[in-house]
């Protein structure tokens, strides 16, 4: 998280899982759970994740000035001086979606329109991701669709249409009634919706066939 990256850690996690499962099947123990945890804790992946485990919690719990200072100390000063991960762990008991402010307590931000040179609108940028438009099922599920109209719109004006960077969620009028439309083919698989939804109402699942955006196109 400290480097706003994670593709290499996701790949390594999948490789460790595959190795653990293969070892279990080869030993004729397919009916037992594979020992993923042992392989994970003995890999460089565990060490790298452990070294930045406080990064998000510091910012969330102490705010940007103090949390940012703590991250500088932990990630730069401590690691360079002692050549080791920090020995303490910061935990935040307040979940991220509980920090969402209501629409009455905030002021809308008027963003400048993209100029088409240095900044671009969202639809044209999403075009380069070259999603498959033939996904038979939607991988984003609402636990209770009525929450959108009964709670999210009155309190937050439906936050999913703002925290989603790809315009997956959109409020539309259908026969005079407002409805949350899910444009699943726009999804970047960042899972922000699964984490940030104030009612934990959105369940992100793996797309059928493991499909996703073509980042090479960008």
Residue 195 scores a pLDDT above 60:
yes
pLDDT the model gives residue 218:
55
Confidence category of residue 111, pLDDT binned at 50, 70, 90: confident
For residue 178, what are the β-bridge partners? 173
Report whether pLDDT(215) > 70: no
Name residue 182's beta-bridge partners.
Answer: 169
CATH T-level fold of 95-218: Alpha-Beta Plaits (3.30.70)
pLDDT of residue 1: 73
Distance of CA 104 to the CA centre of its chain: 26
Residues with Cβ within 8 Å of 46's Cβ and at least 6 positions away in sequence, in order, are 40
Q: 87 and 103 in contact (C-beta within 8 Å)?
A: no
More confident residue, 172 or 79: 172
| pTM confidence score | 0.67
3-state secondary structure of 115: coil
């Amino acid at each position: 998280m400290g480097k706003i990256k994670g593709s290499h850690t996701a790949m390594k996690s999948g490789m460790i899982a595959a190795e653990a499962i293969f070892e279990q099947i080869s030993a004729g123990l397919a009916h037992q759970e594979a020992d993923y945890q042992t392989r994970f804790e003995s890999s460089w992946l565990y060490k790298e994740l452990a070294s930045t485990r406080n990064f998000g919690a510091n910012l969330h719990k102490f705010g940007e000035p103090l949390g940012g200072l703590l991250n500088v100390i932990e990630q730069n000063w401590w690691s360079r001086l002692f050549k080791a991960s920090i020995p303490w762990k910061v935990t935040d008991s307040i979940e991220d979606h509980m920090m969402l402010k209501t629409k009455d307590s905030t002021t809308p931000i008027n963003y400048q329109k993209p100029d088409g040179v240095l900044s671009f609108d969202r639809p044209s940028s999403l075009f380069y991701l070259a999603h498959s438009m033939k996904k038979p099922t939607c991988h984003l599920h609402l636990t209770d669709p009525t929450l959108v109209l009964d709670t999210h719109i009155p309190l937050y004006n439906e936050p999913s249409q703002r925290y989603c960077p790809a315009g997956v969620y959109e409020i539309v009028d259908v026969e005079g009634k407002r409805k949350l439309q899910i444009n699943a083919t726009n999804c970047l698989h960042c899972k922000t919706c699964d984490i940030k939804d104030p009612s934990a109402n959105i369940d992100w699942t793996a797309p059928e066939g493991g499909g996703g955006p073509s980042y090479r196109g960008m």
